[in-house]
Amino acid sequence: MGQYEVTQAQWQTVMNRTIETQRDQFDTTWAMRGIGPDYPAYYVSWINVKTFIRRMNDLEGPSLYRLPTEAEWEYACRAGNSEDVVVELNAKAWYINNSGEQTNPNGQKLPNAWGLYDMHGNVYEWCQDWYANYTAEPQTDPTGPNTGECRIVRGGCWLMDADGCRAADRVGGNPVRGNSSMGFRLVREIE
């Protein structure tokens, strides 16, 4: 799993679009919420992200990159910890109490136990799965339903409170819409 959320510099290199241009596909009046090469890419829909991944795979090899499943994302976020709530959230996450009401450069807060930065806060992160309520039966590495209306986003963001940045907090996002709180990180398959 990527150590950081995909940055605006990476987005511009692969997609040949600035974050402002990316925003303009949705609404030119929306505010910019942090601009710079090390800031996370946002105003990206799930569909946009899939295009980014296809281009990355065209450059570096077929099927190397993908979005994490929701189960993979939560496993990586928890980093071996069973606790849902982050201790010392201010030191580990950009959220409503410390974000300045915008995204912030990747890697400025402490990483989790596995060296992954910004798993809580900064921007929500798209996952591969369709959104659905959890089922009652036990599952190992579930991948969600085959269809749906919304895709999973995880991790909370710069405008959420502490409860919204919990490891288990989950939200459904419209896959054709992006906003100032939605970004992503990639998984790279081992060859």
Q: What residues does each domain of the chain span?
A: 8-134+144-188
Q: What is the pLDDT of residue 157?
A: 97
Q: Is 112 helix (H, G, I), strand (E, B) or coil?
A: coil
Calculate the alpha carbon distances from 96 to 2, 163, 174 in Å. 24, 11, 23
Q: What is the pLDDT of residue 47?
A: 98
The pair of three-digit structure tokens given for residue 108, joined into one six-digit string? 């400025």
Q: Is 127 helix (H, G, I), strand (E, B) or coil?
A: strand
Torsion sign, CA atoms 51, 52, 54, 58? positive
Calculate the alpha carbon distances from 118 to 51, 87, 125, 134, 177 in Å. 23, 14, 10, 25, 22
- Tokens 């929500």 belong to residue: 124
In sequence order, what are the residues at sequence separation of 6 or more whose Cβ sits closer than 8 angstroms to the Cβ of residue 135?
none
Query: Which of 92, 103, 96, 100 has the alpha carbon at shortest distance from 39?
Result: 103
Helix, strand counts (H, E) of the chain:
5, 6
Round to whole Å and give the CA distance between 53 and 126.
Answer: 12
Round to whole Å and give the CA distance between 109 and 89.
Answer: 10
In sequence order, what are the residues at sequence separation of 6 or more whose Cβ sits closer than 8 angstroms to the Cβ of residue 5?
40, 41, 106, 117, 118, 122, 123, 125, 183, 184, 185
Q: What is the pLDDT of residue 66?
A: 97
Q: What is the pLDDT of residue 136?
A: 80
- pLDDT in 10s for each residue of the chain, 191 residues: 999 999 999 999 999 999 999 999 999 999 999 999 999 999 999 999 999 999 999 998 888 999 999 999 999 999 999 887 788 899 999 999 999 999 999 999 999 999 999 999 999 999 999 999 888 888 787 788 889 999 999 999 999 999 999 999 999 999 999 999 999 999 998 86
Q: What is the pLDDT of residue 45?
A: 98
* Global pTM value: 0.95
Please name the residue ranges forming H helices in 39-88. 46-60, 70-78
Contact yes or no for 134/152 (Cβ under 8 A): no
Domain 8-134+144-188, second-level architecture: Alpha-Beta Complex (3.90)
Please name the residue ranges forming H helices in 89-157. 89-92
Q: What is the pLDDT of residue 25?
A: 94
Contact yes or no for 108/36 (Cβ under 8 A): no
